[in-house]
Chains A and B, each alone.
Chain A
């Protein structure tokens, strides 16, 4: 459980997530929580769905914000990584995120999107 980035955003904008895992990632999923005072599950994707050319996408609805979490099963004694591209309305940011096997067997990393 660790936050690796922040995004400011506005309702109505579109968020796209694309991923490319390395061989030390056995499986993973992407969870989006929506914040309206408290978090609630907004959408959940099997990680492989985000590996396509278009990734996965959703529109930001009016809310306090969103948490985008990637939860991954990792190999021991390896360096599990996922290259992640997050884009809001065309402005994208690339991350090369490590999922340390010392935190395994399942490691999570998240991004916060604050709406204003």
Chain B
């Protein structure tokens, strides 16, 4: 079935072309309708249009159409939302310190206001020496009154006292300093002899571009030749004045209203439909080609690169904002199959690496990963003996004497597929260890550590049998209260189609 323009509004055609070619923002919603043109429901027209196109391009068009509907829906929802005027804290502070910041502009990387306007973040230029990278930031937050203080004021006077205390706090009184350290190799090359650290995309872009260049060429020559002629023909259908005025616009001529083609509008629409079919077919070919080559695994290899980061922070709230806090966090992640391994096993040869991608994809081992995260937090003791508002003590105030508090939490995860086959599939072993230890003053208030080993034996694609051994340092953290070690044998069935 072929469609000709008298049955379709110019607006719908423009929308269809934009949907297919991704130019959602370019829709000319005001395009006038050709004289005497009927206006069928857009859904019916789109459905009929899609129906006229080859099966292999249909999925792409329908997906794009759904995206357009989502965009339109989002736009409607967004426009219907009432907006609340944001608090001006961040912009006010930003403006007041702007002149001082200019003196340090060489050291400041970014000054950023938080989305809710309550914080102003100053990031300094990262310091890099070799593979070491250090980043520093200062966050100014709108000072608030701690709930510890709030709850110590009699309820009937609470609102006015809190309001009075807020006025006593300055804009710059709530500060957080943070320092982040990580190993980041500046640039990784095929000739590298030592492993690379970090996940900065710029480190790998040159290498991964080389990997793509070494891949064989996808055969879309037929589409390319047909498209070249088609494009020239479509452009030639435009009047000279329109062509010259719009030729350099992005997505030209797909965003040109159909009416600009004048008497050639019907032919232009038919050619544009063929154009869409050819590009859709080419896209699907490329997608299938690179998926079969194993390029889906490239991102997994990138995400499995070893990454070590340390972050420390110190939060100094305003006088009535609660206790000072500091924290330290360490995170180590890596996967067995990563870019380091690709470079090592291919001996620095990009073409050999392309062949390895297929092997990695077939082995399906790129999900194997080791993750260690540990965090230590410390809150200092906090005491407020009396409260004064305008020189007068707050009557009924209960003095605050909060003890110091510290918390250590850690999580370790590791998992891999085993090489032994069970029911022709590879079992998987996962190890986890998780715990938390808290102290108030010098008294341990929580000390919980639980570890487990799970062996998952696949029976077929849908059914697997997990066997878990779990150990806890205290019996109350296990299902069986009288033992520290428990075992579970499970049965897992994946519903078809989910």
Contacts and interface: CB of A to CB of B under 8 A. Distances in A.
Interface in B2-29: 21-22
B299 A47 contact: no
Given A35-B228, A105-B295, A106-B295, A2 B283 contact: yes
Interface in A52-95: 65, 67, 71-73, 75-76, 93, 95
Contact of A6 (B22, B213, B247): B247
Contacts of A108: 286
Contact of B299 (A5, A23, A35, A105): A105
Contacts of A7: 247-248
Nearest to A76: B299
B228 A112 contact: yes
A102 interface: yes
A27 B210 contact: yes
Interface string A25-61: 1111100010100110000101110000000000000
B227 interface: yes
Contacts of B231: 3, 6, 112
B205 A27 contact: yes
Interface in B74-91: none
A112 B220 CA distance: 16
A12 interface: no
B225 interface: yes
Contacts of B295: 73, 105-106
Given A106-B286, A106-B295, A100 B22 contact: yes
Nearest to B248: A93
A21 to B, nearest CB: 7
Contacts of B248: 5-7, 93
B209 A3 contact: no
B225 A38 contact: yes
B205 A21 contact: yes
A5 B252 contact: yes
A44 B223 CA distance: 20
A27 B207 contact: yes
A25 B212 CA distance: 12
Nearest to B278: A1
Given A8-B247, A39-B221, A23 B291 contact: no
Interface string B274-302: 00000100110111001100011011001
B208 A26 contact: yes
B interface residue count range (under 10 / 10 to 19 / 20 to 34 / 35 or more): 35 or more
A39 B224 contact: yes
Contact of B205 (A1, A8, A26, A106): A26
B440 to A, nearest CB: 42
A48 B206 contact: yes
Interface string B186-214: 00000000000000010011111111110
A72 B211 CA distance: 11
A64 B215 CA distance: 28
A9 B228 CA distance: 16
Nearest to A23: B201
B22 A105 contact: no
B298 A73 contact: yes
Interface of A: 1-8, 21, 23-29, 33, 35, 38-39, 44, 46-48, 65, 67, 71-73, 75-76, 93, 95, 98, 100, 102-108, 112, 114
Given A7-B248, A73-B208, 19 more contacts: A1-B282, A2-B22, A4-B250, A6-B235, A6-B247, A25-B201, A25-B205, A27-B205, A27-B206, A38-B225, A46-B206, A46-B210, A48-B209, A76-B299, A95-B250, A98-B22, A104-B290, A105-B295, A108-B286
Interface of B: 21-22, 63, 201, 204-213, 220-221, 223-225, 227-228, 231-232, 235, 247-252, 279, 282-283, 285-287, 290-291, 295-296, 298-299, 302
Please provide the 9 A-B residue pairs with the shortest distance between their CB atoms, ordered closest to farther: A27-B208, A1-B282, A27-B209, A106-B290, A105-B295, A48-B206, A46-B209, A23-B201, A1-B283
20 contacts: A1-B223, A5-B248, A25-B201, A26-B205, A27-B208, A27-B209, A27-B210, A27-B298, A28-B209, A29-B209, A46-B210, A48-B209, A67-B224, A76-B299, A93-B248, A102-B63, A103-B283, A105-B296, A106-B287, A114-B232
